[in-house]
Amino acid sequence: MPPTNPEPTRPSPSAQPEEPAREGLFHDPRLTPVLSFVRCRGLPRAAVVALLVALAATAFAGRSVAVPEFRYLVDFSVPVAEIVPLAHAVILATTLFSPMADLEQTSAQPMTRHRTLYLVVLLALALGLTALPLVAGATNEVFVSAARNVIGYLGLAMLSARLFGSGLAWLLPLAMFGPTLLLGVGSDNTPEPWAWSLHPSTHTPAMITAVLLWVVGALASATAGPRQSERAEQN
């Protein structure tokens, strides 16, 4: 009898090739450049510090700070939630530039788009932190004023980081905040026209001023690299 061909054996279910394990979101190769861009600027650490400040502000959301009677005998106070945005702006602005600027300049793609997107992310993060006092009962008027202040102070911080280095991002915001607190209230117990951060949320010129400060600061940060003193790799 002619030999019969043996029937092909079917592989057992246990012998099936295993599917590759699905990688997590943070292991996606497409996100690697984005994560590297964020990490090298220290954003995670700065975000944690800013969150702690925001939580502290939330605990004191109902408190106000009296304006010092430096020039006139005034009875004017500012909610804590409207002052804390200064801290958010300064903390986040320290992450504007990377110490690996020389490597970024040799990248195959221009970094202007990445920097612009990063500035929008910083603004969204700052606004989110500013909204936390709403949980503790802060009014919508206070939130709008706080959002205006964080926009304006973030613009000043971006300008300061561009002019003096990200380590001195606090310089221009504090240079504005100090005179505003001491001299920003007139004899009629109302904010001076230039003291935009003290005006109520319905004051349109103050909002326009804050937005213009952010736009100017964003243009300065997005279109220019860090100062030479911030570069970690010197020739």
**Tokens, residue 18:** 């295993």
On whether residue 22 sits in a domain, the answer given is: no
Note whether residue 89 is domain-resident: yes
pLDDT, residue 49, reads 93
Query: Quick one: pLDDT at residue 70?
Result: 75
pLDDT in tens, 116-145: 888 898 999 999 999 998 888 888 999 999
Domain assignment present for 66:
yes
18 assigned to some structural domain: no
What percentage of the chain carries pLDDT values higher than 70?
72
Q: From the DSSP assignment, how many helices (H) and strands (E) are in the chain?
A: 9, 2
> 1 in a domain, yes or no?
no
pLDDT(98) > 80:
no
Going from the C-alpha of 230 to that of each of 79, 102, 124, 194, 235, the distances in angstroms are: 36, 10, 26, 33, 13
The domain in which residue 197 lies consists of 33-226
Say if 168 falls within a structural domain.
Answer: yes
pTM score > 0.85 for this model?
A: no
In a domain, 160, yes or no: yes
Whether 190 is covered by a domain: the verdict is yes
Tally the domains of the chain.
1
**pLDDT value at residue 21:** 44
Per-residue confidence (pLDDT) for residue 67, from 0 to 100 = 83
When pLDDT is cut at 50, 70 and 90, the band that residue 12 belongs to is low
In whole angstroms, give the CA distance from residue 185 to residue 212.
Answer: 23
